[in-house]
Amino acid sequence: MSRCIGYLGPQGTFSEEAALLYDSQAELVPFPTISQVANAVAIRQVEEGVVPIENSIGGSVPETLDLLIQQPRLFICREVLLPIRLYLLVRPGTEEENIHTIFSHPQPLAQSQRFLSRYFPDARLMAAPSTAAAVEQMMGDTHGVAAIGTRRAARMLHAKVLAHRIQDYPVNVTRFVVLDKADHAATGDDRTSLCFSFAEDKPGQLAAVLQELASQEINMIKIESRPLKKTPGRYYFLVDLEGHRQDAHIVQSLTYIKSITILFRIFGSYPRHRSPAPATRIARRRRCP
């Protein structure tokens, strides 16, 4: 029997493409928000969930980072890298000179600023819950409306492609993570994600963490911060490392970091995805129990 995988819907989104790239044989279930995908995994409505975590241009997805901090029952078990190609879509019959409003998710709008500034400097940019929702809204609106979305959404909703690959940078990749109730065994080519915060704000604390990682020759892939939310000016630090949490040298460093922090959580260790490729298969859909 096929696995049941949740993703940030509706159909025609990049999240669906990432889910297909991860497992083309799975039964896919769309959810309207990232939090609902995570909750569906936590209560086992679906076996796994695919959500975006960062884009090479737009940066991190705050909602995904926050749910990882707040959901101790969920872990990252895989990552999926998806090339992002953006298209300007319109209803058949709509002419470029008549476009006055453009819908899309905030990320694609931000990733297409050069194109929009050059060709549609006076257009009103309107945020939508997803690229697919933007295309659907555009198709039900007037002929002066366009949407930034995927080629898949254009095929599904019978939209016309007015402009191809309008993203500001040709290399535009979104990293998705697969959520489960456990992470992945070591493979020899892994990534570990974690977060921590300190009991008080004083000099040298973060430097001590960095020095520990350097002493063990652990490559830190990424570091960023998120507000603690309970106390103004206080932060969680989120770090990605090369290697698996069960590797001996990483075990030693993580033990040290845990000893000097008040909050410490490993989001998971999982295989690194190095070969992104677009998904082409049409997803099968059913409502999993």
The string of pLDDT tens digits covering residues 204-230 is 999 999 999 999 999 999 999 999 877
Q: Are 116 and 152 within one domain?
A: yes
| Position 1 confidence tier, pLDDT thresholds 50, 70, 90 | low
Q: Are 180 and 278 within one domain?
A: yes
Q: Are 159 and 101 within one domain?
A: yes
| Residue 16, domain CATH | 3.40.190.10
Tell me the per-residue pLDDT of 55-114, one tens digit each, with 9 for 90 and over.
Answer: 988 889 999 999 999 888 899 999 999 999 999 999 999 989 999 999 998 889 999 999
For residue 170, what are its two tokens? 């040709």
Q: Are 120 and 234 within one domain?
A: no
Helix axes 205-215, 248-259, angle to 10 degrees: 170
Q: Are 207 and 102 within one domain?
A: no
Tell me the per-residue pLDDT of 259-285, one tens digit each, with 9 for 90 and over.
Answer: 999 999 999 999 998 654 444 344 444
Q: Are 126 and 144 within one domain?
A: yes
Q: Are 176 and 78 within one domain?
A: yes
Q: Are 74 and 200 within one domain?
A: no
pLDDT of residue 57: 83
Cα angle value 5/38/190 (rounded, 5°)? 75
Whether the pLDDT of residue 289 is over 80: the answer is no
Q: Are 146 and 93 within one domain?
A: yes
Which residue segment(s) compose the domain that 70 sits in? 1-83+172-185+273-289
Instruction: Give CA separation, 48 vs 2, 22, 45, 270, in Å.
Output: 12, 11, 9, 14
Whether the pLDDT of residue 166 is over 90: the answer is yes
When divided into structural domains, the chain yields a total of 3
Query: What is the share, in percent, of the chain residues with pLDDT greater than 70?
Result: 94
Other beta carbons within 10 angstroms of residue 242's beta carbon come to 16
pLDDT of residue 10: 85
113-127, 134-148, 234-248, 270-284: least confident range: 270-284
pLDDT of residue 282: 40
Q: Are 56 and 31 within one domain?
A: yes
Whether the pLDDT of residue 40 is over 70: the answer is yes
